[in-house]
């Protein structure tokens, strides 16, 4: 990862490994909020030259530490500064929408030495879509740069009538800036240090400054992280790499949390997707649900707030539809792009219902279902009236928005739905996993409605679900390869390429027991399983490419959705194979962090080949290790019926797994799974839920 990123709420900083924002970099570096770049240059210099990096730590998501030193400097044979004489430490964090950076210089030159530290800064206020080269448009104009004692302010008059400004301040107020440059001349003796602190604010309209003293801000930030960690169940195992993965995953999910007024939810990922995403946020919240149900509730309320209300082809919006993505930049605000919000996602709506059902299963919170009752009805109406475009029981997608997305499932690249002969499928397209989501959503909502006293409506949903199940298994099953098609195309012809999509069906209940086993077996054979995870497409298919974004790569979150189904159905051999592969893969990445995706090359290479521009940290990749725990425990609560199903298993590389203070219903559950001889035993250490525990564990030989 050749960049460093820190984030808190809606503000994130993306720099190179030296901590600078420069233009000649793979990623478009900057300080971003509300889809606008508020810093396009932020470069530290010593005597006019860039320092040399020594160490750059990006493992701590909320705080970054970078160690630098000076190059050798002389002019006309006269020494200016001996190489590696000055140690420079840059430490930064974000709190309450303010970036704090402390620059500390320590001299190791044997005599007194003077040098100049300079900061060059600028702000272009570019819209995220322009920064990434996706769009151009009519934009505003940059205003005056205001230099005052102790600060620089860059200003911008937006085409959306929003005035933006970036304020950089420092705590040596006698130093004046010239344009976007400020210089500090320091004199130090051997072993002596000096430091200064910069603050940067990205402000809109008449927003007031939130700068406070640095120590208080850091303590408040650290306290919020401590509260987050204290709220989570504790995982202990003798498999240390798994423990590290869990900690990394929960840390990454914490930094990706944002609140736009309806509760905390995970944004999709950094650097480019730090905004609400329907599909991504819902799946990440589902992964996190056993660890923190409040995030699921915040995600549901956020999605409900933006639920579609009208037919608007420009945004691919229909009444009841859950959004795909929302953007807050200049182009979205002036309607030059359809992302305010955009609704081109066929699966967000059933995923919304699925998450609601699972949240109630874990918490027993029927009041949440009552609160979102009208949103449930509108989502179901969208599925039946707009999702099912032709009345054949299947939910299809078709792009209406001229600047929207053509393929509207999770594999949303233009080449992701391809026939076995290499032809791209044409829409309307009915994806296999979406039908499973709809089945799971409707059967789950039916159970909720039974408890809410709406048995007639519940029974109607069950009838619809059974009709869908029968027709799905008839139309999507490919007898010749004993697997499900990824989709049906515009002519209702099977798109027969072998892909990972049908793996999502395992948790839905739409498959027969026999066919579910065939799906698990297919997904873990050599053509689909790389050794590090399940590929998105099988080796040998016309569209297969191990370097492709969606046609042969490995996506951890895709694997996690499959794992939840394997755990639910007790396909433990296949489940363990996939978990082992992903754990092995994680050790090949910086900070043991699973990225958004990686290439699908075979493990015989003895290395994981990274995908060049994968997001990291990324929400549903961060949430993937959490599904390892749920799948290994085989734990699926049913709070409405006061029971908890468990079916524990251990990886061959572990002998013990303990989880403490797992919140279920209004109580907590602690249990220990341990290998004793050739058997796996489970000990219920604590159970204050009041629920019955149905243990499907049987003795196994390993």
What DSSP state is assigned to residue 596? S
**Confidence grade of residue 48 (pLDDT, cut at 50, 70, 90):** very high
For residues 538, 542, 546 and 548, what is the CA-based torsion angle, rounded to 10 degrees? -120
Give residue limits of the domains in the chain. 4-222, 498-620, 644-695
Residue 541 pLDDT grade (very low, low, confident, very high; cuts 50, 70, 90): very high
Half-sphere exposure of 103 (CA within 13 A, CB side): 26
* 535 strand-pairing partners: 554
The answer to whether 35 and 328 are in contact (CB under 8 A) is: yes
- Rounded CA gap, 411 and 165, in Å? 37
pLDDT of the residue at 174: 74
State the average pLDDT over residues 255-280.
92
148 vs 250: CA distance, rounded Å: 42
Token representation of residue 509: 């209940």
End-to-end CA distance of the chain: 38
**Residue tagged 């994806």 (tokens):** 431
pTM: 0.95
pLDDT score at 274: 87
Question: Which residues, other chains included, contact 311 with Cβ-Cβ below 8 Å and sequence gap of 6+?
Answer: 317, 318, 319
Residue 651 has pLDDT above 80, yes or no: yes
The candidate with the shortest Cα–Cα distance to 336, out of 205, 159, 124, 157, is 159
Note the pLDDT tens digit of each residue in 217-227: 999 999 999 99
Residues in a beta bridge with 148: 151
Burial of 398 (0-12, 13-18, 19+ CB in 10 A): middle
Nearest one of 291, 453, 287 to 366, comparing CA atoms: 453
In the 3-class helix/strand/coil scheme, how is 645-662 assigned residue by residue? EECCCCCCCCCEEEEEEE
What pLDDT is attached to residue 700? 39
B/e letters for 24-43, b = 16+ CB within 10 Å, e = fewer, are: eeebbbbbbbbbbbbbbbbb
Residues 363-378 have a mean pLDDT of: 98
Question: So what's the pLDDT on residue 172?
Answer: 87
pLDDT of res. 433: 98
Question: How far apart, in Å, are the Cα atoms of 2 and each of 16, 39, 263, 444, 607?
Answer: 7, 19, 33, 44, 19
Find the mean pLDDT for residues 375-384.
Answer: 98
| 121-135, 565-579, 686-700: least confidently modelled range | 686-700
Predicted confidence band at 702 (pLDDT cuts at 50, 70, 90)? very low
582 contact partners, CB below 8 Å, separation of at least 6: 532, 533, 556, 559, 594, 624, 625, 628
Phi, psi at 675, each rounded to 5°: -85, 125
Give me the torsion for CA of 573, 574, 575, 576, rounded to 10°. 50
Confidence of residue 1 (pLDDT cuts 50, 70, 90): low
Q: What CA–CA distances, in Å, run from 403 to 261, 321, 396, 406?
A: 28, 18, 19, 9
Residue position matching structure tokens 């949903």: 461
pLDDT averaged over every residue in the chain: 95
Using DSSP's 3-state secondary structure scheme, residue 231 falls into: helix
Q: Which residues contact 88 (CB under 8 A, 6 or more apart)?
A: 44, 46, 51, 67, 68, 69, 70, 103, 104, 105, 117
Give the model's pLDDT for residue 25. Answer: 76
Classify domain 4-222 by CATH number.
Answer: 2.70.98.40
Tokens of 397: 């997608």
């Amino acid at each position: 990862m050749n960049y460093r990123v820190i984030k808190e709420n809606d503000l994130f900083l993306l720099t190179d490994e030296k901590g600078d924002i420069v233009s000649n970099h793979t990623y478009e570096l900057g300080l971003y909020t509300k889809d606008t770049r508020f810093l396009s240059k932020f470069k530290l210099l010593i005597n006019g030259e860039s320092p040399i990096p020594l160490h750059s730590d990006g493992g701590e998501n909320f705080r970054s530490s970078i160690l630098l030193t000076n190059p050798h400097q002389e002019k006309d044979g006269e020494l200016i500064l001996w190489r590696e004489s000055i140690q420079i430490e840059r430490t930064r964090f974000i709190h309450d929408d303010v970036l704090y950076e402390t620059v500390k210089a320590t001299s190791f030159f044997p005599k007194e030495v003077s040098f100049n530290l300079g900061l060059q800064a600028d702000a272009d206020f570019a819209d995220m879509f322009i920064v990434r080269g996706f769009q151009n448009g009519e934009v505003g104009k940059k205003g005056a740069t205001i230099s005052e004692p102790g600060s620089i302010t860059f200003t911008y008059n937006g085409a959306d009538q929003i005035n933006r400004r970036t304020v950089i301040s420092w705590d040596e107020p006698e130093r004046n800036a010239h344009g976007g440059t400020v210089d500090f001349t320091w004199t130090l003796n051997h072993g002596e240090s000096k430091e200064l602190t910069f603050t940067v604010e990205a402000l809109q309209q008449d927003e007031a400054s939130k700068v406070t003293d640095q120590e208080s801000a850091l303590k408040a930030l650290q306290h919020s992280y401590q509260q987050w960690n204290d709220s989570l169940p504790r995982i202990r195992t003798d498999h240390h790499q798994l423990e590290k993965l869990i900690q990394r995953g929960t840390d990454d999910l914490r930094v990706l949390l944002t609140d736009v007024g309806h509760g905390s939810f995970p944004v999709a990922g950094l650097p480019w997707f730090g905004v609400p995403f329907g599909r991504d946020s819902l799946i990440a919240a589902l992964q996190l649900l056993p660890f923190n149900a409040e995030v699921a509730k915040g995600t549901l309320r956020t999605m409900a707030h933006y639920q579609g209300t009208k037919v608007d082809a420009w945004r691919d919006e229909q009444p009841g539809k859950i959004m795909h993505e929302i953007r807050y930049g200049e182009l979205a605000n002036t309607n030059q792009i359809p992302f305010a919000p955009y609704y081109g996602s066929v699966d967000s709506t059933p995923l919304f219902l699925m998450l609601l059902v699972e949240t109630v299963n874990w918490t027993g919170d029927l009041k949440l279902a009552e609160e979102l009752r009208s949103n449930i009805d509108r989502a179901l109406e969208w599925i039946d009236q707009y999702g099912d475009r032709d009345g054949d029981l299947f939910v299809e997608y078709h792009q209406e928005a001229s600047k929207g997305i053509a393929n509207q499932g999770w594999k949303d690249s233009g080449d992701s739905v391809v026939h076995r002969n290499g032809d791209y499928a044409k829409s309307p397209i009915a994806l296999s996993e979406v039908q499973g989501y709809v089945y799971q959503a409707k059967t789950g909502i039916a159970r909720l409605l039974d408890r809410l006293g709406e048995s007639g409506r519940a029974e109607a949903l069950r009838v619809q679900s059974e009709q869908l199940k029968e027709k799905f298994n008839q139309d999507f099953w490919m007898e010749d390869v004993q697997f499900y098609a990824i989709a049906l195309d515009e002519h209702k012809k099977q798109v027969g390429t072998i892909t990972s999509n049908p793996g999502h069906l395992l948790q839905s209940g739409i498959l027969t027991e026999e066919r579910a086993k065939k799906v698990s077996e297919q997904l873990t054979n050599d053509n689909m399983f790389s050794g590090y995870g399940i590929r998105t497409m099988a080796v040998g298919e016309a569209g297969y490419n191990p370097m492709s974004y969606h046609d042969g790569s490995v996506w951890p979150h895709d694997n996690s959705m499959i794992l939840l189904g394997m755990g639910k159905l007790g396909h433990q051999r296949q489940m363990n194979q996939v978990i082992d592969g992903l754990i092995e893969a994680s050790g090949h990445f910086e900070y043991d962090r699973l990225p958004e995706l990686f290439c699908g090359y075979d493990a015989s290479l003895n290395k994981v080949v990274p995908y060049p521009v994968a997001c990291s940290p990324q929400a549903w990749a961060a949430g993937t290790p959490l599904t390892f725990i749920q799948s290994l425990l085989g734990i699926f609560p049913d709070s409405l019926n006061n029971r908890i199903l468990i079916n524990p298993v251990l990886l061959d590389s572990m002998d013990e797994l303990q989880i403490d203070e797992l919140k279920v219903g209004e109580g907590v559950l602690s249990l220990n799974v341990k290998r004793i001889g050739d058997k796996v035993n489970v000990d219920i250490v604590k159970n204050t839920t009041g629920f019955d525990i149905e243990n499907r564990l049987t003795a196994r030989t390993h």
